[in-house]
Each structure stands twice: as C-alpha cells, then as structure tokens.
C-alpha cells in the first residue's frame, strides 16, 4: 500500500473511532436532561456546540506510526496513567478496538469506555407472544425477494461478525452476487485473485480474524467483493458518498445485482434519527438511488457488553429468551420477525451472552471451530507477545485465522480453529518472530 492509500485508510479508521468517542462525551450531558433517543454517532451540530470534551493529545496520530497492532496495544496501555480524563476516553476506545483486533474479545468489552448500544426505551416482547429462532435461517427466508440485505456491527465487538459469516453461504445460495464491507479499501487490487485479505486490504478493523474470514469466505463462495468507504470528512457527506459508491460499483453496471452489505452501526438505518435529525443514513440514500428497499438487520443493540444490572434491557430480554446462538424472535400469532425500531430496521438480532471463561464461548462459531491450547512458553518470556494461526497455504501477511496476546508468563489459553493446516507463530511488539511451528487440526472430535 502506498503512502496516499495508507493515509486514507487511517483517516477512515480515525473518523469512525473519534465519532463514537465524541458521542460518549455528549451523551453524559444529555443524560441529565429530558430522555431522548441515544445516538450511535453524534450530529455535527452537537459536536460544535459541546464543550464537554477537551482533548489535549492526538492519541490516534501518536499510535498510528507504530508498526503493528501489538505495538499500538502496548503503547495505549502504557500512556493511560499520564492522560487527562477526556484523553483517557479516547485512549480507552482505541485500546478496546485494538484488543478486539488482537483476539482479546472480553478485554475489549470491559475496556470500552461507554455503553454505545441504542438506549431508546421500548416495550420488551413477551415469551408468551414470541419464540426465538435461528437468525441466519430466518434472515435467509426474509431475503428471498430482496435485492439488498444490510447488517451492522459494533466495531470493537467481533461477536457482531459471527452472523455475517453464517449468512454468506445462505445468501449466495439465494442468488446474491455482491458483498460489500465497510472496512475494505480499493487499493488492494489483488484481493480477489489472492483469495484472502492482508493488513493493507483495509482499515485496522480488518485485522480482526473474523472480519478477515468474512472476506476470505465471500471470495471463496464467488461473491464479487466491493469496497465502498467514502473519504468525505463530514458525516452527512460520508453517508451520501457511501450510498453513491455502492450504487456506482454495483447497480449502475449490473441492474439485476443482489447485494449483501456489512456496515457499522447506524449506516444501515432506513430513517433519520440515530445520526442526527437531518442526516440521511447510507441505507436510506441507497434506497432512494436504487428504488430497492433494503432488508436492514440490527445486531448492535441486544448484545453482551459485560457485567450490567439485571434491569438492563438486554439482561431482561435474555432472561425471557435464553438463546445460545444469534437469534431472532418470531411472532407466535403470525410468524413476523420482531424489530424494536421498525422505522429504521426490519430485524433485531439477539446475541447470546459471551460466557467470559478464558475466551468467549461464541468463538466456536456453532461448533465449526475447535480449541487448541497454547502456552505463554511460545513467547520465550518476551512479553507481551501475539500468537497467531495462519492457514498454511497463505502468506505471512495474511489476516490470521485466530490470534491471542499473552501478557504474563506461565499462562495458558486457546486458539479456535477450523479443520485444516496452520502455521502457528509468535511475535513481540517489535514484530520480531520468536517461534513458528506447523499444526494440523482434524475433524470434530480429533
């Protein structure tokens, strides 16, 4: 990747992260006023008017020059005690995001500095009226007569990528031909030919193993993979730019195309509100450009973000519907799918609790992956170190199939791997390879 492309990539990453951090700062003041729908990103007017946040250091730029994810992780942890309260808010968000990219999934949930789930009060469905069902199966049914399907993610929570991975083969079987991912950039012209993403294929979000696997699987299944991120600075222009790029790259040249989009947060909203009173989300604008009503699937609200009181709406919903996989609710009366915000989304997905034992239970991906124990001994007492599993036939720059960071000696954990041949390596914060060996993972029960 050239200097221009790398700078554009970092700008995109920074814009997403800082918008959420600023939203957190403004939400504290808003909470003391009359209740209002929470925003997944702040309206520009709110940002200009707010004096709630005073950032003294540009932590993004400070970390951007570091050569790898582990170096950024180490730096963000080390500078934390030196920071003001407002700078710490930015640091915590950056840290949680890089923890997610390094496979430290529970740590990312605990370190993220605020609850960014939409908190608009809604009446919860009753178990007497609704029944839980497998999300991938039901969404595939709903997609039968749709031209566009959109699903969102929380960027620091890889659990919101499990369902996308499960939907890829189902939607391909339904005739979907294009897959668009927000984290991709156009500069990796060899992506489709190579068959797997590398670090320079997109923003840092793509460094997370499940995101990498989503791209890998989309290519394997025969999707044409599309990058659509806009370089616009203003939020309104970014939403418009994304919609226009999707229209131009997909429907303008292929009017019969069927498109599956993986985006962040409120980009998939079909009405204004969560991005501000006047900003039209990308999904809303793409509908206007194409004439096709997207099937919009939200999975950022009903998810486990760590210890919360029993009165938390997610905990109440899980108590009524104790699901163990990504699920939707079907009406017992007419079979319709529940949506808590039907103006903006067609489907609400409920993600099960993570489990929080070493690493989250959901990493088995419905039993398709097996655990392989790893020990900090592989780090040769050079800590912290990242342990990565790459498919044996892919290059050393491939996004790993799984990765984990050891921060203490004499500890153990597990990698989650599909059946296949792997190269297992460990590296220190200077990207120096410490060890490498081959590993074969057999079928279930091996």
The domain that contains 329 carries what CATH number?
A: 3.40.50
The rounded Cα 330 to chain-centroid distance in angstroms is 25
Question: Residue 384, preceding bond cis, omega within 30 degrees?
Answer: yes
Q: List Cβ neighbours of 98 (8 Å cut-off, separation of 6 or more).
A: 69, 72, 73, 76, 204
Looking at the domain assignment, is residue 123 inside a domain? no
Q: Quote the CA–CA distance of 385 and 387 in Å, as a whole number.
A: 7
Q: Quote the CA–CA distance of 122 and 381 in Å, as a whole number.
A: 51
**Same domain flag for 141 and 250:** yes
Number of independent structural domains in the chain:
3
**Same domain flag for 260 and 189:** yes
Looking at the domain assignment, is residue 330 inside a domain? yes
Q: List Cβ neighbours of 324 (8 Å cut-off, separation of 6 or more).
A: 352
**Same domain flag for 256 and 297:** yes
Q: List Cβ neighbours of 50 (8 Å cut-off, separation of 6 or more).
A: 22, 25, 26, 29, 42
Return the biggest CA–CA distance within the chain: 60
Query: What pLDDT score was predicted for residue 357?
Result: 72
Q: Give which of 233, 246, 231, 316 is closest to 287, Cα–Cα.
A: 246
Q: Is the pLDDT of residue 397 over 90?
A: yes
Q: What is the pLDDT of residues 166-175, one digit of tens each?
A: 999 999 999 9
> In the beta sheet, which residues pair with residue 403?
388
**Same domain flag for 183 and 224:** yes
Query: What pLDDT score was predicted for residue 36?
Result: 36
Count CB neighbours of 244 within 10 A. 17
Classify residue 248 by its DSSP letter. I
Angle value at C-alpha 363, between 126 and 167, nearest 5 degrees:
65
Query: What pLDDT score was predicted for residue 14?
Result: 60
**Same domain flag for 245 and 332:** yes
Q: Which band of pLDDT confidence, cut at 50, 70 and 90, is reported for residue 383?
A: very high
Mean pLDDT over the full length of the chain: 90
**Same domain flag for 215 and 321:** yes
Backbone angles phi, psi at 425, to 5 degrees: -130, 160
C-beta of residue 342 within 8 angstroms of C-beta of residue 141: no
Looking at the domain assignment, is residue 356 inside a domain? no
Q: Give which of 23, 39, 83, 38 is closest to 58, Cα–Cα.
A: 83
**Same domain flag for 336 and 437:** no
Q: List Cβ neighbours of 357 (8 Å cut-off, separation of 6 or more).
A: none
**Same domain flag for 310 and 385:** no
**Same domain flag for 266 and 178:** yes
Q: What is the mean pLDDT of residues 46-58?
A: 58
Looking at the domain assignment, is residue 446 inside a domain? no
Select from 315, 350, 385 the last residue of a domain.
Answer: 350
Q: What is the pLDDT of residues 224-238, one digit of tens each?
A: 999 999 999 999 999
**What is the sign of the dihedral through the CA atoms of 228, 231, 233 and 234?**
negative
- Report the SS3 class of residue 33: coil
Share of the chain above pLDDT 70, in %: 88
Query: What pLDDT score was predicted for residue 15?
Result: 59
**Same domain flag for 103 and 153:** no
Q: Is the pLDDT of residue 191 over 90?
A: yes
Classify residue 247 by its DSSP letter. I
**Same domain flag for 200 and 65:** no
**Same domain flag for 101 and 135:** no
Select from 76, 111, 146 the last residue of a domain.
Answer: 111
Which ranges in 35-142 belong to alpha helices (H)?
44-49, 59-64, 69-79, 85-101, 105-111, 135-142
Highest mean pLDDT among 43-47, 107-111, 215-219: 215-219
Looking at the domain assignment, is residue 172 inside a domain? yes
Give the structural domain span for 90. Answer: 3-111
Looking at the domain assignment, is residue 425 inside a domain? yes
């Amino acid at each position: 990747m050239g200097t221009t492309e790398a700078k554009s990539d970092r700008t995109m990453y920074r814009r997403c992260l800082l918008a959420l951090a600023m939203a957190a700062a403004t939400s504290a003041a808003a909470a003391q006023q009359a209740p209002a729908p929470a925003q997944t990103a702040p309206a520009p007017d709110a940002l200009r008017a707010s004096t709630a946040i005073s950032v003294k250091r540009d932590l993004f730029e400070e970390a951007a020059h570091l050569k790898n994810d582990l170096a950024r992780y180490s730096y963000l942890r080390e500078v934390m005690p030196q920071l003001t309260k407002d700078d710490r808010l930015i640091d915590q968000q950056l840290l949680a995001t890089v923890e997610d990219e390094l496979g430290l999934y529970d740590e990312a949930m605990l370190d993220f500095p605020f609850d960014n789930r939409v908190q608009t009060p809604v009446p919860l469905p009753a178990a007497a009226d609704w029944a839980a069902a497998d999300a991938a199966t039901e969404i595939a049914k709903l997609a039968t007569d749709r031209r566009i399907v959109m699903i969102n993610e929380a960027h620091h929570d890889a659990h919101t990528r499990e369902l996308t991975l499960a939907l890829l083969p189902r939607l391909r079987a339904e005739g979907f031909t294009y897959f668009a991912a927000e984290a991709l950039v156009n500069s990796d012209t060899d992506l489709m030919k190579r068959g797997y993403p590398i670090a320079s294929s997109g923003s840092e979000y793509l460094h997370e193993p499940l995101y990498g696997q989503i791209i890998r699987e989309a290519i394997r299944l025969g999707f044409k993979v599309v990058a659509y991120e806009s370089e616009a600075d203003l939020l309104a222009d970014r939403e418009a730019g994304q919609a226009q790029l999707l229209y131009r790259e997909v429907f303008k040249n292929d009017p019969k195309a069927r498109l599956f989009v993986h985006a962040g947060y409120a980009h998939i909203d079909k009405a204004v509100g969560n991005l501000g009173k006047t900003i039209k989300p990308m999904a809303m604008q793409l509908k206007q450009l194409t004439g096709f009503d997207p099937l919009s699937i939200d999975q950022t609200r009903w998810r486990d973000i760590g210890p919360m009181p029993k009165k938390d709406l997610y905990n109440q919903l899980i108590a009524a519907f104790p699901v163990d996989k990504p699920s939707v609710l079907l009406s017992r009366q007419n079979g319709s799918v529940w949506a808590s915000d039907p103006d903006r989304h067609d489907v609400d997905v409920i993600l099960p609790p993570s489990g929080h034992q070493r690493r989250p239970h959901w990493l088995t991906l419905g039993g398709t992956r097996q655990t392989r124990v790893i020990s900090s001994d592989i780090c040769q007492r050079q800590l912290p170190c990242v342990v990565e599993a790459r498919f044996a036939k892919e290059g050393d720059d491939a996004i790993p199939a799984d990765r984990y960071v050891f921060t203490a000696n004499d500890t153990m954990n597990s990698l989650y791997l599909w059946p296949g041949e792997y190269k297992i390596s460990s590296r220190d914060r200077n990207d120096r390879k410490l060890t490498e060996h081959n590993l074969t993972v057999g079928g279930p029960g091996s």
